Amino acid sequence: MAHDQRADERQLIRRGLRLARSYVRAHPVPFAVAVVGSVAMAVGTVLSAVMLGWLTDDLILPAFEGTEARRSRTTVVVAVLAVAALRSAGVVVRRYFAGMTVFRCRNDLQVELGDHYLALPADELRVAPKGRLLAHADSDVHVATDMISPLPFTIGVVTLLGFSVVSLGFVDWVLMLVALALMPLVAGLNHFNAEAAKGPAVAVREAVARVSSVASESFDGALVVKTLGRENAELERFSDEAAILRRESVRLGRVRALFAAALDLLPDIGVVTLVALGAWRVANGHMTTGQLVQAVALFTILVFPMRVIGYFFGDMPPGVVAYDRLAAILARPRANRQGRDELDGEAPLSVDVSDLVVRYGDSLAVDGVTLHVEPGEVVALVGPTGSGKSTLLTALVDMVPTAAGSVAIGDRPLGDIAPSALARRTAIAWQQPFLLDASIRENISFGGAFTDAEIEEAARHARFHQVACDLPEGYDTRVGERGVRLSGGQRQRLALARALVRHPGLLLLDDAVSAVDPVTEEQILDESRALGSTMLVVAHRRSTILLADRVILMSNGRVVATGTHEELLDIPAYASLLEAYEREAAAT
């Protein structure tokens, strides 16, 4: 077990390094600049220890002890400030450009993810957990790219390590040996620290998630909690999870405290050893006092790089895991829609469906439907919930994979029609309209090039024009989640205007005006009808059904009957369904 884990760990590190390399290849310039800055910082840091030596030997001791100075006071002051400037500039350049590298990698991933989300098959996205996909674009992208951020620093710091060891060697080889002996100890301790903290850290994260989900459910049910008087029971449930979180947090804190102390202790022991040994070397004439000061300074510098290297390798596994989650999404096959045929003209389109089968998992949503709709015909689809009406409409616009059978629009097989042509000549509106966080104008034109007059005309047909005019900025009013909120019926009418402005040859309405009052619904449908599109309408109201030339009754994914409303009234299933709709109909 332990062995497997370690192998996994090594594997993760290897993949992390590969990932880091791909990030660097994508944005070599800012990364290289960050490394230059980092090396400048490293050189500056080592030199600043050397500067302490100069200050001691060339300024302090000559003044206090009367020893001879090798350098002028001005030289030393300028050198000290120059070194400090070099170091600071290095840090600024490293931080800024390391940030730029990370942000650019983030851009790439977010753009790629957005592109992929837009290309995934519609049916897959329909059932996908939206919250999680959204989190991928935010937190996972952050974690996956953040891992590159300490790399320039790490490279600089490795340089620093080399420099300090070498400089220490120049100062005194005995002291260098002491430093070299300590390094693997510090590295080992860092490694153990990361190992020991991993388990508790995961436990804390999980406990946080549980606390959050209990609270989320509880607040969602605030009304029920109140009316049942379950506040105390809910508090107990929440406290249990909060207590687990407390226990795990304390455990994590314990591990951290113990290792932090050990990590502080080791270098301090080293320094004390160094001072004791160094005093003896100075006394025997092997080195000067200034060199001892410099050695102590260099030695304190040494500890730091070890920690930074630890951070880099510590950040890597979560980064790789987050990237894996993104890669898994990006590897999902994109929708493959290869049709090239155009749908010409402005004329209404015919619909031909034969033996169509659509599966959702094990169940058959559409089970062998055959139907023909003439150009310009208006057809109502009627049937109980789950009878396959919506799925059938979705299949007509090529948004759900079909298991068998065929669909033709305007006498062309659906698979041969170019997606762009299909989008231009057909329009579908749903019960739950989708609004962009943008102006009303943009929401109606929705990517198409329409004049203001055309947009207003469509809005008039959809009975939305007055709503738009009453808003503070008219058609420029921003609607959607962060803009002005519209009522359910207003949203539906806006989405309908989006469909009508296109003068589609085939208009599909899936309960698209359910939140509009019956009188307005009648007017809207009358006008839509007058535009001359072929229409398939999922209907629940008698008044809607009566507008259709023909009614198709569906049940369990099959067409049960087709004919005019009067003809179907003889079928008991139809009659009882209509009665149920009436019972349900809203009083308002």
User: Looking only at residues 98 through 117 of this chain, which bind another protein when binding is defined by CB under 8 A?
Assistant: 99-100, 103-104, 106-107, 110-111, 113-115, 117
Is residue 563 a contact partner of residue 550, using CB atoms and an 8 Å limit? yes
**Distance from C-alpha of 199 to C-alpha of 203, rounded to nearest angstrom:** 6
Would you tell me how many other CB atoms lie within 10 Å of the CB of residue 481?
8
Contacts 24+ apart (CB under 8 A), 580-587: 581/540, 581/541, 581/542, 582/542, 584/540, 585/541
Q: Find the part of the chain contacting another protein (CB under 8 A) among 20-28, 88-96, 187-195, 312-320.
A: 88-96
Strand order in the sheet with 426-430: 426-430, 506-510, 534-538, 378-382, 550-555, 558-563
Find the shortest distance in angstroms from Cβ 400 to another protein: 10
Position among 254, 332, 334, 372 found at the interface with another protein (CB under 8 A): 254
Would you tell me how many other CB atoms lie within 10 Å of the CB of residue 345?
10
Q: Find the part of the chain contacting another protein (CB under 8 A) among 6-14, 97-105, 306-314, 324-332.
A: 97-105
Find the shortest distance in angstroms from Cβ 5 to another protein: 25
By C-beta, is 163 or 446 nearer to another protein? 446
Q: Does 135 bind another protein (CB under 8 A)?
A: yes
- The CA-to-CA distance between both ends of the chain, in Å, stands at 66
Position among 26, 32, 119, 194 found at the interface with another protein (CB under 8 A): 119
By C-beta, is 368 or 415 nearer to another protein? 415
| CA-wise closest residue to 101 among 149, 140, 141 | 149
Find the shortest distance in angstroms from Cβ 155 to another protein: 17
For strands 550-555 and 378-382, give the pairing.
Answer: parallel
Find the shortest distance in angstroms from Cβ 62 to another protein: 8
Q: Find the part of the chain contacting another protein (CB under 8 A) among 12-20, 85-93, 184-192, 467-475.
A: 85-93
Q: Which of residues 376-395 bind another protein (CB under 8 A)?
A: 384-385, 394
Position among 42, 171, 179, 296 found at the interface with another protein (CB under 8 A): 296
Find the shortest distance in angstroms from Cβ 495 to another protein: 8
Q: Does 282 bind another protein (CB under 8 A)?
A: yes
Q: Which of residues 541-570 bind another protein (CB under 8 A)?
A: 541-543, 546
Q: Does 128 bind another protein (CB under 8 A)?
A: yes
Start-end of H helices in 406-487: 419-425, 440-445, 452-461, 465-470
Position among 16, 19, 39, 87 found at the interface with another protein (CB under 8 A): 87
Residue 235, amino acid: L
Find the shortest distance in angstroms from Cβ 11 to another protein: 29
Find the shortest distance in angstroms from Cβ 586 to another protein: 6
By C-beta, is 93 or 408 nearer to another protein? 93
Start-end of H helices in 66-172: 73-119, 122-127, 130-135, 141-146, 151-171
Q: Does 166 bind another protein (CB under 8 A)?
A: no
**Distance from C-alpha of 120 to C-alpha of 508, rounded to nearest angstrom:** 23
204-to-190, 192, 201, 244, 246 alpha-carbon distances in Å: 21, 19, 5, 9, 9
Residue 185, amino acid: L
By C-beta, is 331 or 586 nearer to another protein? 586
Q: Does 423 bind another protein (CB under 8 A)?
A: yes
Binding map of another protein across residues 220-249, x = CB under 8 A, - = no contact: xxxxxxxxxxxx-xxx--xx--xx-xx--x
536-to-351, 374, 400 alpha-carbon distances in Å: 10, 11, 17
Q: How many residues bind to another protein according to rule CB under 8 A?
A: 158
Is residue 389 a contact partner of residue 538, using CB atoms and an 8 Å limit? yes
Q: Does 520 bind another protein (CB under 8 A)?
A: no
Find the shortest distance in angstroms from Cβ 151 to another protein: 16
Binding map of another protein across residues 524-543, x = CB under 8 A, - = no contact: ----------------xxxx
Find the shortest distance in angstroms from Cβ 448 to another protein: 8
Q: Does 63 bind another protein (CB under 8 A)?
A: yes
Position among 50, 83, 151, 552 found at the interface with another protein (CB under 8 A): 83
Find the shortest distance in angstroms from Cβ 415 to another protein: 15
Q: Does 84 bind another protein (CB under 8 A)?
A: yes
Binding map of another protein across residues 17-56, x = CB under 8 A, - = no contact: -------------------------------x---x--xx
Position among 32, 262, 321, 347 found at the interface with another protein (CB under 8 A): 262
Position among 29, 134, 403, 569 found at the interface with another protein (CB under 8 A): 134
Contacts 24+ apart (CB under 8 A), 514-523: 514/431, 514/540, 515/431, 515/487, 515/488, 515/489, 515/491, 516/463, 516/489, 516/492, 517/489, 517/588, 518/543, 520/463, 520/489, 522/547, 523/463
By C-beta, is 103 or 532 nearer to another protein? 103
DSSP lists the bridge partners of residue 380 as 537, 551
By three-state DSSP, how is residue 274 classified?
helix
**Distance from C-alpha of 140 to C-alpha of 133, rounded to nearest angstrom:** 10
**Distance from C-alpha of 93 to C-alpha of 30, rounded to nearest angstrom:** 10
Q: Which of residues 325-344 bind another protein (CB under 8 A)?
A: 335
Position among 13, 133, 183, 189 found at the interface with another protein (CB under 8 A): 133
Find the shortest distance in angstroms from Cβ 373 to another protein: 18
Q: Does 258 bind another protein (CB under 8 A)?
A: yes
Position among 9, 13, 15, 95 found at the interface with another protein (CB under 8 A): 95
| CA-wise closest residue to 178 among 265, 262, 267 | 267
For strands 404-409 and 378-382, give the pairing.
Answer: unpaired
Q: Does 85 bind another protein (CB under 8 A)?
A: yes
Find the shortest distance in angstroms from Cβ 406 to another protein: 19
Token duo for residue 312: 């880099």
Annotate 192-254 with three-state secondary structure: HHHHHHHHHHHHHHHHHHHHHHHHHHHHHCHHHHHHHCCHHHHHHHHHHHHHHHHHHHHHHHH
Segment holding 63, helix H or strand E: helix 61-65
Q: Which of residues 461-480 bind another protein (CB under 8 A)?
A: 480
DSSP lists the bridge partners of residue 561 as 553
